[in-house]
Structure 1
Amino acid sequence: MPAVAMAVLGYFGFHSVSGEFGIAGRERIEREVAALEAQLAELRYEREHLATRVSLLRPESLDPDMIDERARINLNVVHVNELAILHLDEPRGR
């Protein structure tokens, strides 16, 4: 009976240290959590930025500059008396 108890304790002791959810696994999980939290913060920032831009296009708060900007980007048009400055490092549409 003591040998069986020692075997069971040894089995659970081994897996509590080196198992998937043991001490070694906890470090891996904590690294994954940190990476996912960083990704979440980045996505939240991007969502806020997009929500702000969308709010400028709502009918109750139309911003004439935003409409003009979107029309010029989509239609690729400028007035004759305007100077166009191209930013090649920025993706089109931003």
Structure 2
Amino acid sequence: MWTRHHKSRIYGRLVVPAIAACFLSYFVYHSIHGDYGLNAAKRFEAHKELNQRRLDKLVAEREALEQRVKRLSDGSLMKDALDERARYALNLLKPDEIVIFDRNL
């Protein structure tokens, strides 16, 4: 009876760890540089902070406008002052009025 003996080769024992190292390096690379990796998370956080600052600015602007509207509608403003502000904002005037432009305003 003949038996076949194989010589143990060093390359045979390194194939599985080499393939595992390739897969591991692929996943590590994409966990850092991929679409959902660490670098993308940093960019997302920076974009989120920028949008939060924009939102805070817009909220403050809206609150200021709400306060102006509240002051106009609480009855403390006289009708002629309200009429003057409306005509100034809409750029309208009556036929018998004279407009004087002042550069300081």
TM-score (ref. length: structure 1)? 0.63
d(CA) in 2 for partners of 1:71, 1:18: 56
Percentage of pairs with the same residue: 33
User: Which has the larger displacement, 42-51 or 23-32?
Assistant: 23-32
- Code of the residue aligned with 2:77 in structure 1: it is P
RMSD of Structure 2 on Structure 1 (CA) = 3.1
Partner of 2:66: 51
Question: What is the deviation of 1:19?
Answer: 1.2
2:24 pairs with 1:6: no
Q: In structure 2, do the counterparts of structure 1 residues 87 and 45 end up closer, same or farther at CA, with 3 Å as the change threshold?
A: farther
* Equivalent residue pairs, number: 84
What CA deviation, in whole Å up to 9, does each residue of 1:1-55 have, x standing for no partner?
5444333322211111111221222221122112111111110111001111121
SS at match of 1:64: coil
d(CA) in 2 for partners of 1:55, 1:87: 29
- Aligned match of 1:17 in 22, 32, 36? 32
d(CA) in 1 for partners of 2:32, 2:43: 13
- Code of the residue aligned with 1:34 in structure 2: it is E
Question: What is the deviation of 1:88?
Answer: 5.5
d(CA) in 2 for partners of 1:8, 1:45: 51
SS at match of 2:72: coil
- Name the larger-Rg structure: 2
Structure 1: gaps (5+ residues): 90-94
Structure 2: gaps (5+ residues): 1-15
2:48 pairs with 1:33: yes
TM-score (ref. length: structure 2)? 0.57
Question: What is the deviation of 1:76?
Answer: 4.5
Question: What is the deviation of 1:64?
Answer: 1.8
